[in-house]
Amino acid sequence: MRLHTAQAWIVVCVALFMTVFADWISGPRVSLTIGYLFVDVLAAWTLRERAGIAIVVLSIALGSAVNGFGTVPAADQSGLSTTVAIWNTTTRAASAMMIVVMVATLRHTIDGELWRASTDYLTRSLNGGAFRSRLERVAQIGRRRGSTLLLLYMDLDGFKAVNDRHGHAAGDMVLRRFADEARARMRPDDLFARLGGDEFCAFLAIERGVAPEQVAESLHARLSEALRSTGHAVTCSMGAVVIDPAVAHDTERMIALADEAMLEVKRNGKNAIRIAFDAPDLVRRAA
């Protein structure tokens, strides 16, 4: 589970406090270097490099204030010169910082690979695989909040003609403009993905008291306006499915139902929206 920044800071600070307290209780002859190093690595992993280095400096300062972090705990401290104590503290700090940099770099690399594996590079939206893998998470959010789920399937009308007449650069611009507008209308827990070509999907948990039909119609209007702003004759056909979260388990059926509603729009003039309610026979044109 990924922690939010505030949550990560709380966890790191609690871990550091517990380590300092244990260091104070155990005294200078028991080394808690591993405890401080754990806190440093935790900070680097959850909060990245700068925060990790800051925690290293803070750990050194607190450890020194408690019982002399630069000393060798098992040695006779009365014979340890100030120069050696400073050297020990400096080398431990440098070692911890190198580990922090390596951990933060590893985390950055992993995050980059995960992003590339789940994101459509052109539109910066989720790809189809990532979208399907996260549907259940949004459904769980809907069940927990008592929300209604809304699945949208979108296809751009006239997109192929843009590529044919104006080139792929113009087509890419249309796709990016459409995706940017859609993502701007999404909340943090909503999903938006490019399934391929000029087909997109979105999955939203709609709060109580808000009509899902109105959300779908409003989004269709905003996206249509964004497409008009490109200067190309491209419109949006949208299929929407209003789903009870209690029965939202068959994700492929939900996507297929939204796709069917979208195809109904395509067969009847395009540039419109159809809304379905849990079953293929309950498809109607939105007002």
Report the alpha-carbon distance of residue 12 to residue 47 in Å, rounded. Answer: 9
Residue 161: helix, strand or coil by DSSP?
helix
Pairing of strands 148-157, 199-206: antiparallel
Pairing of strands 199-206, 283-285: unpaired
CB 56 within 8 A of CB 97: yes
Other beta carbons within 10 Å of 205:
25
- Name the active-site residue from 23, 40, 157, 198: 198
What amino acid is encoded at 225 in this protein?
A: E
Report the alpha-carbon distance of residue 201 to residue 91 in Å, rounded. Answer: 54
Report the alpha-carbon distance of residue 185 to residue 201 in Å, rounded. Answer: 13
Measured N-to-C along each axis, helices 82-118 and 128-145 cross at an angle, to the nearest 10 degrees, of: 100
Place of tokens 């098992």: 74
Backbone angles phi, psi at 4, to 5 degrees: -70, 160
189 labelled catalytic: no
Residue 182: helix, strand or coil by DSSP?
helix
Residue 31: helix, strand or coil by DSSP?
coil
Active-site positions read: 198
